[in-house]
A and B are shown apart, each in its own frame.
Chain A
Amino acid sequence: MTEKKEYRGSIHQRQKDLMLAWYAQLDQAANTGNPPTVTMMVSGNCVELLEGFGAIPIYPEVNALQLAIRHQSLDPILAAEELGYAADNCAYVKADIGCILKGITPTDGKLPTPTLILCNFVGCNTYLKWFEHLAKLQNAPLYVIDVPFMRADHPTRFDVEYVVKQLQETVKKLEQLTGRKFDHDRFRQAVDCSRRSEELWSQIKHLARRTPSPFDAYFDAITLMGPLYVYRARPEGVEFFEAALAELQAKSDAGHGVYEKEHFRLVMEGPPPYPYFRTFRDMFAKWQACAVASTYSTVGGLWEFGFRHDPDHPFESVAMHMIEQNVTNRSLLQRYEQLRRYVEEWNADGLVIHFVKSCRLFSAGQGDMRDYFTKQLGVPTLYIESDLEDPRYFGEAQTRTRIDAFFESLEHAKATASVRVGA
């Protein structure tokens, strides 16, 4: 194994502690009914609003991916298929529904029936179905925040007003359900904490522009994403990202990268194959190939290009985050542009597109994306297919062969280029 060491430092333990504390709170909510809990989608989540009620989020896809990483996703998927879900339905949904049916949780603690199922629909139609089904299954109240999709370069004034009004309707709904008054000051403080966490997270992502990058912006970024969704609007989140930035900055200043020698710099598109996370990572580690940027790490929010929550305009900035500043509510062409900037500004050697059959939002049209990057931009591109949750769709030998072939050709191109430079 050529990987020098997986990036850990103290961050790995800190994020583990934070996430376990979150699950402990959810367990407490299940036992005592306190704090109130709100089921949400990770992407474009409005966790700041929950702070105004002292409520905490439940993220079904975080539960689902934890299960997949531990190789425990197939049983609940099969349970959901017995209920009638199709082989080609999103496996996140099936794993989540199967877990509720079978009483499986990621930590063996309990998960509460949510106070509200809040479908913060941002571009993912599957979520509309998923949360409807959850509301039916758990007999919990449902509210949908309809977020207009990005069909032009920027949202219209009417898009923003529409979302702000729905956020205010959500506040009223939560006041009824929790019996608590919405605390505007706490909401504004939460928005301010988010602003600070986002600034730190953005600085971390920009460290990956250095050569070598001090962390892998796909595989390691996932470690940092849990606290980003659950804690960014709280002081614990700000502290976590301060520590993470300090550690990575020190590592980078000392000239240390992810590998002995950073041999290739990659941009990654699409979610990872969680059931084979380690195996998949090793396929890149073998070539000392480091991801310097990834679209998946912008599912929760797109901060490396400058957007921050704004405590002076709390509702409007939460709305802007939901509409414009997360990858899933942006058009496919805006994603092409995001990737193009990564390749150029993060100085990458190639693009890896991971098609996951569960997620049509990410995957439908990725062949056209490959066409654009290879034919129009001349960027070396690798296209592979598997799934983010269902272990039955990962062809290990085939994936390895394709990855090896991609790096062999990149290596060959580099060698010929250096010969040409030498001549």
Chain B
Amino acid sequence: MPFIERTFDKCADLQFPLVREWKQAHPGAKAVAYFPVYSPVELIHASGMLPVGLSGAGDRLDIQHADARFGSFICSIVKTTLELGLTGHLEPFDGFLFSSICDSARNLCFVMKRNFPGMYVDFLHLPHNPSSPAAAQFLAEEYRRVLAELERLSGSKVSDDALRRSITLYNRNRALIRELYQLRTRDPQQAPTWELYRLIRAGNFMPVEEHTAMLEAALPEFRARGAKKRDSIRIVVEGSFCEQPPIALIRLIEEAGCYIVDDDFAIGQSWFESDVPTGGDPILALAASYLDRAVYSSVRHDFRKPRWDGLVEKVRRTQADAVLFLIAKFCEPAYFDYVPYKQEVERAGVPHLQLEFEEKSFTFDHLRTEVETFVESLVFD
């Protein structure tokens, strides 16, 4: 769909034209970036500011300075995010939120704080013990603390009603994403992931109202397509929840004979399995939803229900033939989870393949061969 391509090109532009245009149209209003994976965007939106999900710089920025600040063995997204700042690309942003996803991203938050003292940089502690009856209250207080900072930045107070309106808007957006994902799981030939992914990811850079309109326009178009089913295998992609693989790689995987029937790309945008309640205390509703309504993820820890059970359930629900572990180089949460995921997927009798990428990779010949060989081994088994 041409409108998806047009918008996505603007999203990938490191001058951030969509953010600049929004700021021009809203004089005095501010934009707040957030690092993956999940962020309570409703708080930023309700403050009258533009939330922007910034997932590194892809393959559009050479790392000149950030290598020296972070050393070897650190993932690319941490370095390109700092590089964006050190090269002046973050000028349109007034704030940057980080959260407790991993040690490298956490340390990046404080390096950013030191290097960009003019920017509001904050760290959100998302709880790792949802079993505790005290966790919801703690997170609600944490959200209130961040909201107070956002109010200071925007210069205006946020009412409960404004928060409820934002929650309603994002609920609608997330519900549409869920619907598109269900369509893809059912009829993957109608909605190839390389296309659907761009549509969804565009939401990271646009006002939610506009993105929702885009999703609403795209849904009937995907439905109406009369695409023919190919002889591809159905796979679930797991492990790309933070640093994002190049689109060319996603497309290559599909062309090599895979239907991606579920994935965790840009998973923050479909973080909740059902709507966040809009009655009662909206902050508490957002906090409680993080604990009890969220999808499983390598960066969310809930020892009541292991993530590997979540993956096996997902494979069954989507009737996938296999799992592709697509892991960003040096991503420690994904490396760790690979072991129990692999064990449980094997126990369930599901074949799997592991591939490693970097956001800035541009040659994929060896990956193509690996995927093709894997597909052949399944098709001709």
Contact = CB atoms under 8 A, between A and B. Distances in A.
Contacts of B336: 85, 89, 93, 126, 129-130, 133
B338 A84 contact: yes
Nearest to A84: B339
A336 B125 CA distance: 21
Interface in B124-140: 124-125, 127-129, 131-135, 137-138
B132 A133 contact: no
B69 A365 contact: yes
Interface stretch (A161-169, A180-188, A196-204, A255-263): A161-169
Given A133-B336, A151-B125, A169 B74 contact: no
A360 B114 contact: no
Interface stretch (A142-150, A207-215, A293-301): A142-150
B128 A151 contact: no
B102 A333 contact: no
Interface residues of A, number: 54
Interface string A341-366: 00000000000000101011101111
A126 B135 contact: no
Interface stretch (A104-112, A367-375, A415-423): A367-375
B332 A135 contact: no
B72 A385 contact: yes
A132 interface: yes
Interface residues of B, number: 53
Contacts of B125: 148-149, 151
A136 B332 contact: no
Given A355-B71, A364-B107, A365-B111, A90 B129 contact: no
Given A142-B303, A143-B303, A364-B74, A85 B339 contact: yes
Nearest to A121: B128
B138 A148 contact: yes
A360 B134 contact: no
Nearest to B134: A165
Contact of A125 (B71, B102, B124): B102
Contact of B340 (A93, A136, A368): A136
Contact of B73 (A88, A129, A156, A371): A88
B335 interface: yes
B114 A361 contact: no
Contacts of A332: 107, 110-111
Contacts of B71: 355, 363-364, 366-367, 385
Interface in B29-73: 67-73
Given A151-B122, A361-B103, A129 B337 contact: yes
Interface string B308-331: 000000000000000000000010
Given A166-B132, A357-B73, A146 B127 contact: yes
Nearest to A148: B125
Interface in A81-139: 83-86, 88-90, 93, 121, 123-126, 128-130, 132-133, 135-136
B303 A133 contact: no
Given A121-B128, A144-B303, A158 B142 contact: yes
A365 B141 CA distance: 29
A331 interface: yes
Highest count of chain A CB atoms <10 Å: which of B103, B141, B337: B103
Contacts of A151: 122-125
Contact of A162 (B72, B74, B135): B135
Interface in A382-398: 385
Given A146-B129, A363-B71, A84 B332 contact: no
Contacts of A126: 103, 332, 336
B335 A89 contact: yes
B69 A367 contact: yes
Nearest to B113: A333
B289 interface: no
A367 B303 contact: no
Given A136-B340, A365-B108, A86 B103 contact: no
14 contacts: A86-B338, A88-B332, A123-B106, A126-B332, A129-B332, A331-B123, A333-B110, A336-B114, A360-B103, A360-B107, A365-B69, A367-B67, A367-B71, A368-B115
6 A-B pairs with least C-beta separation:
A146-B129, A129-B336, A165-B134, A162-B138, A158-B141, A151-B123
Interface of B: 67-74, 78, 100-104, 106-108, 110-111, 113-115, 122-125, 127-129, 131-135, 137-138, 141-142, 145, 301, 303, 306, 330, 332-333, 335-340, 342-343
Given A88-B73, A162-B135, A367-B67, 10 more contacts: A84-B338, A90-B332, A125-B106, A125-B333, A126-B103, A146-B135, A162-B134, A360-B103, A368-B70, A368-B114
